[in-house]
Amino acid sequence: YLTMLVNLLGPVERVMAMATRGQEERLITAEGPYKNTKFKVGTPTNVLSLLEFRSGATVTFGASWDVFKHSNHPIELHGTEGSLRLPDPDTFGGTVSLSERGAEWKDFASEGELYGARNWPYAAPDRANYRMLGVADLVRSLQTGNTPRASGNLALHVLEIMEAILRSGETQGSVAIAGDVVQPALLTEEEASDLLA
């Protein structure tokens, strides 16, 4: 989610956050040798933060392990010309919705788009999963000398944001982001099509 925000809005300059733990102990419910055992929670499990981007945009960002189910859109952005709902960036498909200046939402499905078609799981696809797209872009960038979109610098910047959120939650003050990253270039339709080859 943070990586998608940096892709859309550029690098983050500063964060402020509150961080809490919903429980002191948690029960392991996943299959495996530790199922139904408890462990002590050693990190915040609920964070609410304010991200200030170098572009001037500000975003509230919340993440929680303490929510059983929610009905919020994964990402919703509001600007001077309208509002935008974006699908879960953990997959490649989904519906983008746009409300221009308060008008009714217009939905734009991605199933007909190049990387929006449902292809996973293989036997009964229910979502778009094109995770190797980043690797293909990396290979092409090594061949052309261009900067890869999913670069180590981008990953380091997002990691610094996450660490700053936790530090701000501990200190109750704002934390500046020292590192910098160039906002990844948009993937054009031609480039996206070439990556399939």
pLDDT, tens digit (0-9, with 9 covering 90-100), for 98-111? 999 999 999 999 99
Residue 100, domain CATH: 3.30.360.10
pLDDT, tens digit (0-9, with 9 covering 90-100), for 81-99? 999 999 999 888 899 999 9
What average pLDDT does the segment 159-170 reach? 98
In a domain, 193, yes or no: no
In a domain, 126, yes or no: yes
Maximal CA-CA distance, the chain = 53
Q: What pLDDT does residue 131 have?
A: 85
* Domain count within the chain: 1
Find the domain containing 119 and state its range. 2-179
pLDDT, tens digit (0-9, with 9 covering 90-100), for 118-140? 999 999 999 999 988 889 999 99
In a domain, 168, yes or no: yes
In a domain, 106, yes or no: yes
Q: Can you state the angle between helices 2-9 and 152-171, rounded to 10 degrees?
A: 110
In a domain, 17, yes or no: yes
Q: To which H or E segment does residue 33 belong? A: none
In a domain, 196, yes or no: no
In a domain, 83, yes or no: yes
Q: Is the pLDDT of residue 73 over 90?
A: no
107: its two tokens: 């939905």
In a domain, 117, yes or no: yes
